[in-house]
Amino acid sequence: MFRLDNKTAIITGGGSGIGKAIATVFAKQGAMVNIFDMDEAGAANAVNEITENGGKAKFYKCDVSNQAGVQQIVDSIAAGGPIDILINNAGIAHIGNAETTAETDFDRLINVNVKGVYNCLHSVIPHLKQNGGSIVNMASIASLVGIPDRFAYSMTKGAVVGMTLSVAKDYLKYNIRCNCISPARVHTPFVDGFLSKNYPGKEEEMFEKLSKTQPIGRMGRPEEIGYLALYLCSDEASFITGCDYPIDGGFVKLNN
């Protein structure tokens, strides 16, 4: 069950964190993984780890906000065979409310978190239409509940949910399924960097505090997000489309 043999997957932001975990899980299950990332060192390391364990992976330096660049890479992959899976994982975070969010930061989040998802959908869907396939977009619980000081970030993730529903509806007849995943806090290198930058000397204390905001008492692990993405892209999930899956340790429903 949950095998991806002979499947070709594109995973944006696959060089670290959740994206790397998804790439690793997919490769273990037989997929040919194509990692799009701007971090050459991180992506190269991810590819090496996958191939050393018998998996298949390639890295493409790609700015998802650049449509022409995305299109060129996607077409080159498709020239080698069908594309079956798209994981829109690349994204950036921002802290601030409507007053403190600068226009430059607002535009930057739109370009990566919204336009980046659109660019990949725009380029990949024509290839998925040939044989059908699965798309998973990475949203966030910030699109479901109010999170303090996440104005621009929450806005972009709400857009991701909207795009997910639209694509699911428009491409049913092509056997393309489209879902999204909404994680709560997941322990990635980004979290460690955020804590060291904003809470020097108090990293351990703040990590514990952030962990306990999930009712389950801890942050998620990247591979746990990878397992959910695997299920949604597998044949076992063939009856599922147009859904948003919170994976949040009870954050949305149990935080009373």
Active site residues: 153
Q: Measured on CA atoms in the order 81, 82, 85, 91, is the torsion positive or negative?
A: positive
Task: Report whether 75 contacts 124 (CB < 8 A).
Answer: no
Task: Residue 229: name the closest of 76, 16, 20, 5 by CA.
Answer: 20
Displacement of CA 69 from its chain's centroid (Å): 19
At residue 34's C-alpha, the angle toward residues 132 and 54, to 5°, is 110
Task: Report whether 162 contacts 121 (CB < 8 A).
Answer: no
